[in-house]
Amino acid sequence: MKLIYYPGCTLKNQARNFDVSTVSSMAELDVEVEELARWNCCGTVHALASDDVMHRMAPVTNLIRVKEANASEFMTSCAMCYNTLKRANIDVKKRADALETINQFLYLEETKYAGDVDVLHLLEYLRDRVGFDKLAEKVKKPLTGLRVACYYGCLLVRPKEVAFDDAENPVVMENLISALGGTPVPFPQKTECCGAHHTVGNPEIVAERTDKIMGSAHEQAADLVVVSCPLCAFNLDFRQDDARRLNPDFHHLPVLYFTQLMALAFGCDDASLRFDLHHIDPLPALAARGLA
Amino acid sequence: MNTTLCISSIRPGSPFVALIEKISGQNLLACYQCGKCSAGCPMAPHMDVLPNQIIRLAQLGMKEKLLTTRSIWVCVSCMTCNSRCPKDIRIAEVFEALREMVLRDGSRDDRLDVRELSPEARGALPPIAMISAMRKLTS
Ligand code: SF4
Ligand code: SF4
């Protein structure tokens, strides 16, 4: 059985390291991943206004594509796509009138959406379908000694209807890191917001968040931070120079996708890791633990 | 000396209050002002009116004050307040309703002009950043 995979826009642009490491590590787990045909942007944020039906069209079109691929579920590794697609799905399942309006608007589509597709996040898939015990058996290069701060941000655990782990103290990523042989560190800021879209118009807000969040990881003597959201990754990685200007004591730390650590532990090649796409180079931190 | 306090701004059930409740899908009077939303809000240091105060002003129907706060553009919909509110009020949805009221009024009062960004910034910013900012700050 193939697992349908929705990459989303940023994984095909700045976050190609997230895309290639997702696909490579799934291959190592013997999961056949097939990229969804004709996928479109999910819209990045859920339309919180109850009367905003228009912005539920983009997610629903993707759900239609999943049905057209003869699947009843699909996986995405991007936390933001996951949240947007899952919320829209829950919403139209609950509101027959909104779904009717959307199907009418999308009258050129041959397939109608009937609320019959499930949205999965890769971490949820790894925990519940693959199992961390089975995953641990595939590790060729254990992340021994690597101290990892797992950052969840907002979108994997809020709101409660989309959360697949505890909202205040999620542990799924820590359990993954342990399965890979690494050492997850306590991380008080793991569900604090990175400042999200303010990176465009008010980067100083993001610099303040980055200082606080990355500072907390540094206090725990983390070697690096792992994330599941390309917006968090951009903010926490590329805004570190701004954080340094704000706080001269700021300490630079690399930010990686959890899939890159999986690919590394599974012995995937450099083309599956793409460490060249980072602002803060992860190689020195990995080399210090004998992992690069 | 006797002081007479005259509270006259309470307009429960005004069309403005009803519209906030409709767009946000929230019952504003459920709020008992515990302040938990503001305590955990990561954007509170950048706000001129705190989240619990936004809800209070919304209960009172104080339209001009609400629609001119900086706070409604500062809230990033991180949902921390929503997941912690003991009354299950979705505060982020109330913020969205207020933003929508400004953005929908036809004057195209956008809070982000993409043309003002440098080409370098536009080139570096990932799609996820640009699209979410435009979704939140432009009509
Ligand atoms: S947390 Fe809920 S009840 Fe408490 S002040 Fe905020 S909105 Fe009101
Ligand atoms: S959703 Fe907005 S108001 Fe609520 S905690 Fe986040 S930034 Fe603050």
In terms of domains, do B67 and B114 share one? no
pLDDT at A246: 96
> Which residue CA neighbors atom 4 of ligand 2 most closely?
B81
Contact A230 B83 (CB under 8 A): no
In terms of domains, do B28 and B70 share one? yes
Q: What is the dihedral of CA A127, A231, A221, A157, to 10 degrees?
A: -40
Q: Is B90 left (phi over 0), alpha (psi -120 to 50) or beta?
A: beta
Average pLDDT over residues A49-61: 96
Residue A174: pLDDT band by 50, 70, 90 thresholds?
Answer: very high
- The maximal CA–CA distance of chain A, rounded, in angstroms, is 58
Q: Is the pLDDT of residue A224 over 90?
A: yes
pLDDT, tens digit, 9 for 90 and up, residues A82-124: 999 999 999 999 999 999 999 999 999 999 999 999 999 999 9
B7 in a domain, yes or no?
A: no
B134 in a domain, yes or no?
A: yes
Q: Give the mutation candidate from A78, A151, A191, A200 for the B interface (greatest B CB count, under 10 A).
A: A200
B2 in a domain, yes or no?
A: no
Contacts of A197 in chain B (CB under 8 A): 76, 129, 132-133, 135-137
B8 in a domain, yes or no?
A: no
Q: Closest Cα to residue A164, out of A225, A91, A109, A86?
A: A86
CATH: 3.40.50.2000, 3.40.50.11810, 3.40.630.30, 3.60.15.10. Which one for A141-288? Answer: 3.40.50.11810
B51 in a domain, yes or no?
A: yes
Contacts of A44 in chain B (CB under 8 A): 127-128, 131-132, 135
Q: Is the pLDDT of residue A147 over 90?
A: yes
B3 in a domain, yes or no?
A: no
Q: Is the pLDDT of residue A151 over 70?
A: yes
B26 in a domain, yes or no?
A: yes
pLDDT above 90 coverage of chain B, percent:
81
Q: How many domains does chain B have?
A: 2
B5 in a domain, yes or no?
A: no
Q: Residue B85: which CATH number?
A: 1.10.1060.10
In terms of domains, do B64 and B103 share one? yes
Residues β-bridged to residue A73: A118
Q: Closest Cα to residue A110, out of A71, A172, A65?
A: A65
In terms of domains, do B100 and B116 share one? no
Contacts of B128 in chain A (CB under 8 A): 8-10, 44, 78, 80, 230-231, 234
Report, as ranges of residue numbers, the positions in chain B whose pLDDT lies below 70.
Answer: 1, 5-13
Residue B121 belongs to what domain range? 110-138
Q: Residue A193 contacts by C-beta under 8 Å, 6 or more apart in sequence? A: A153, A154, A209, B42, B43, B76, B78, B80
For ligand 2, whether the C-beta of B78 sits within 6 Å is yes
Reply yes or no: is the peptide bond before residue A282 cis, omega within 30 of 0. Answer: no
pLDDT at A234: 98
Write the CATH number of the domain with boundaries A2-123: 1.20.1050.140
pLDDT, tens digit, 9 for 90 and up, residues A14-30: 999 999 999 999 999 99
What's chain A's average pLDDT?
Answer: 97
Model's pTM, two decimal places? 0.95
In terms of domains, do B25 and B55 share one? yes
In terms of domains, do B103 and B119 share one? no
Q: Where are the beta strands (DSSP E) in chain A?
A: 3-5, 33-35, 73-76, 118-121, 147-150, 183-184, 224-227, 255-257
Phi and psi, residue A15, nearest 5°: -105, 40
Domain extents in chain A: 2-123, 141-288
In terms of domains, do B38 and B103 share one? yes
Average pLDDT over residues A143-147: 98
Residue indicated by tokens 């302040």: B35
B83 touches chain A (CB under 8 A): yes
In terms of domains, do B72 and B118 share one? no
Average pLDDT over residues A3-7: 98
Q: What is the nearest CA distance from B34 to chain A, expressed in angstroms?
A: 19
Average pLDDT over residues A183-188: 98
pLDDT at B108: 83
Ligand 1 centroid to residue A6 C-alpha, Å: 36
In terms of domains, do B22 and B81 share one? yes
In terms of domains, do B26 and B65 share one? yes
Spatial separation of the C-alpha atoms in residues A58 and A60, rounded to whole Å: 5
In terms of domains, do B51 and B88 share one? yes
In terms of domains, do B39 and B85 share one? yes
